[in-house]
Amino acid sequence: MSEPFTPNEMMTIAASRALANDDVCFVGIGAPSAACNVARLTHAPDITLIYESGTIGTAPDVLPLSIGDGELCDTAVTTVAVPEMFRYWLQGGRITIGFLGAAQLDKYGNINTTVIGDYAHPKTRLPGGGGAPEIATSAKQIYITMAQSKRGMVEKIDFFTSFGHGDGGDHRKRLGIDTAGPTLLITDLAIWKPDPATKEFTVVSLHPGVTRQMVQDTCGWTVTFADQVESTPAPTALELTTLRDLQARTKAAHAGAAKP
């Protein structure tokens, strides 16, 4: 019998499994960072993790609070200037995976991290795009991870921060964007992939114990399910231990109680 796990742990571990040893991954702070580092500490020890501040090949012992966290620079193979990071590495086509989070997401993978409500008079002002808009168009593929809610997964986002598949279909191609865009969405309930033709995110795998109704109840659009919906394998003991140890070290470090 497998060890009990939370939906967020399942989400992080499922996301980590999507990364390969030879990936060069542009990492977002938060859930993407956790997933990428679990991958590095388990099945993908040679993955190259790049953070927006210019740290290349970083291997943090604890999860960073921000892209400016000293842990990233201290453990990186090298650190380059931000313009070099974006022009040479990202826009030069050297990033295989851009791993992003979202405050709001629509069914075509368009991301809002700017405002909730009207731009001029927002209900909530969010952190903004940072480098995500450039990552969304220049990385070869985009993976997105977020917890499901009707507030977050909406029919129409309030602001286009990072372009996914636009209105669907060949919208990216029509705009001259030649990268694949969002190819994977991992939530706390399911794994989604875009339909090859429409580019609408479609559920391809349900996490253990999750029903189709649970997915629909926490999504703001009418969910499409693949013809063959798989069941996501439960986390292994190694995956859970790795994630929990990483989170424990992070909590201790950020509380000022980390041991050398």
Say how many C-beta atoms besides its own lie within 10 A of residue 64's C-beta.
Answer: 25
Q: What is the pLDDT of residue 219?
A: 98
Cα-based distances in Å from 116 to 31, 156, 191:
21, 11, 25
Q: Which of 9, 52, 134, 200 is catalytic?
A: 52
- Residue 3 bears catalytic tag: no
Q: What is the value of pTM for the model shown?
A: 0.93
Whether 12 and 31 have beta carbons less than 8 Å apart is answered as yes
Mean pLDDT of the chain: 94
- Per-residue pLDDT of 164-212, as tens digits, reads 999 999 999 999 999 999 999 999 999 999 999 999 999 999 999 999 9
pLDDT tens digit string along 218-257? 999 999 999 999 999 999 999 999 999 999 999 998 886 4
What digits encode the pLDDT tens for the residues 120-157? 999 999 988 888 999 999 999 999 999 999 999 999 99
Measuring CA to CA, how many Å separate 21 from each of 36, 172, 177, 234, 255? 11, 28, 27, 21, 32
Distance, in Å, from the CA atom of 21 to the CA atom of 39, rounded to the nearest integer, reads: 8
The domain locations on the chain are 7-254
CATH assignment of 7-254, given 3.40.1080.10, 1.10.10.10, 3.40.190.10, 3.30.420.40? 3.40.1080.10
Residue 98 parent element (H or E): strand 97-100
Closest to 91 in 3D by CA, of 42, 124, 140: 140
